[in-house]
A and B are shown apart, each in its own frame.
Chain A
Amino acid sequence: MAKYALRATALIYLLFLLVLPIGLICWKTFSGGVGPVVESLSSPSALHAFKVTVVVALFAVVANTIFGVGAAVLLVRHEFRGKRLLNALIDLPIAVSPVVVGLALILVYGRFAPLGGWLADRGIDIIFSLPGMVLATVFVSLPLVVRAVAPVLQEIGIEQEQAAWTLGARPWQAFLRITLPGIRWALGYGMVLALARSLGEYGAIAVVSGRLVDQTQTVTLLVEERFQNFDQQTAYAAAFAMAVIAVLTLLLISLLRPKEDAK
Chain B
Amino acid sequence: MKSSDTLPGRAAPEGPAGARSLEAAAGPLVEASGEPETVRAAPTRRRPTLGLGLGLGTATIYLSLIVLIPLAAVVWRSTEDGLGGFWGYVTTPESLSALKLTIGASVVVALVNLVMGTLIAWVLVRDSFPGKSVVEMLIDLPFALPTIVAGLVLLALYGPGSPLGIDLAYARSGVVVALLFVTLPFVIRTVQPVLLEMDHEMEEAAASLGAGNATIFRRIILPNLLPAMFAGTALAFARSMSEFGATVLISGNLPFKTQVAAVNIFGQIESDNVVGAAAVSTVLLLVALIVLVSLDGLQRWGSRRG
A51: interface (CB < 8 Å): no
- With A97-B243, A107-B77, A197-B17 known as contacts, the answer to whether A6 contacts B119 (CB < 8 A) is yes
Question: In the complex, A176 Cα to B139 Cα: how many Å?
Answer: 37
Contact A250–B137 (Cβ < 8 Å): yes
Binds A, one of B39-47, B83-91, B201-209, B223-231: B39-47
Which residue in chain B gives the minimum CB-CB distance to A155? B37
| B66 CB contacts on chain A under 8 angstroms | 135, 138-139, 142
Query: What's the Cα separation between A145 and B22 when bound, in Å?
Result: 13
Shortest distance from the beta carbon of B243 to any chain A beta carbon, whole Å: 7
Q: Knowing A94-B21, A239-B149 touch, does A261 contact B11 (C-beta < 8 A)?
A: yes
> How far apart are the CA atoms of A196 and B18 in the complex, in Å?
11
CB 8 Å contact bits of A65-106 with B (1 = contact, 0 = none):
001001101111111100110111111111111111111111
Contact B292 A207 (CB under 8 A): no
Identify which of B14, B33, B248, B285 contacts A87 (C-beta below 8 A): B33
In the complex, whether A199 has a CB less than 8 A from a CB of chain B is yes
Tell me if B29 is interfacial: C-beta within 8 Å of chain A.
yes
The contact size tier of chain B is 35 or more
B201–chain A nearest beta-carbon distance, Å = 20
In the complex, B13 has a CB within 8 A of chain A: yes
Residues of A within 8 A of B278 (CB): 103, 107
Chain A binding site: helix, strand, loop or mixed by DSSP?
helix
Find chain B residues with CB under 8 A from A105 CB: 70
A107 touches B120 (CB 8 A): no
Q: Which residue of A lies closest to B52 (CB)?
A: A78
Give the number of A-B contacts (CB < 8 Å). 309
Q: Mark B46-84, 1 if CB is under 8 A from A, else 0.
A: 011001100110111011001111110110010000000
Chain A neighbourhood of B56, CB < 8 A: 74, 80
Q: Is the CB of B63 within 8 A of A89?
A: yes
Are B39 and A158 in contact (CB-based, < 8 A)? yes
Query: Which of chain A's residues has its CB closest to B51's CB?
Result: A171
Q: Which residues of B from 4 to 25 have beta carbons under 8 Å from A? A: 4, 10-11, 13-18, 20-22, 24-25
- Expressed in whole angstroms, the Cα–Cα distance for A107 and B38 within the complex equals 39
Q: How far is the CA of A191 from the CA of B263 in the complex (A)?
A: 30
Is A99's CB under 8 angstroms from B266's CB? yes
Query: Is A197 a contact partner of B16 (Cβ separation < 8 A)?
Result: yes
Give the distance in Å from the alpha carbon of A242 to the alpha carbon of B16 in the complex: 14
Residues of B within 8 A of A157 (CB): 37, 39
If A24-B157, A79-B38, A261-B11 touch, whether A18 touches B181 (CB-CB below 8 Å) is: yes
Q: A98-B244, A103-B74 are in contact. Are A139 and B153 (CB under 8 A)?
A: no
New A-B contacts (10) at CB < 8 Å, excluding given A92-B288, A103-B274, A150-B32: A25-B152, A86-B63, A97-B288, A98-B242, A100-B284, A143-B21, A193-B21, A202-B244, A203-B245, A246-B141
Nearest 10 A/B pairs, CB to CB:
A200-B146, A97-B242, A104-B70, A246-B144, A91-B25, A203-B244, A95-B288, A147-B24, A107-B73, A202-B245
**Can you report 22 residue pairs joining A to B where beta carbons are below 8 Å apart?**
A6-B127, A18-B181, A21-B158, A21-B181, A75-B28, A89-B67, A97-B243, A98-B242, A104-B73, A104-B74, A104-B281, A106-B269, A106-B274, A107-B274, A108-B69, A142-B67, A171-B47, A199-B146, A200-B146, A239-B153, A243-B145, A250-B140
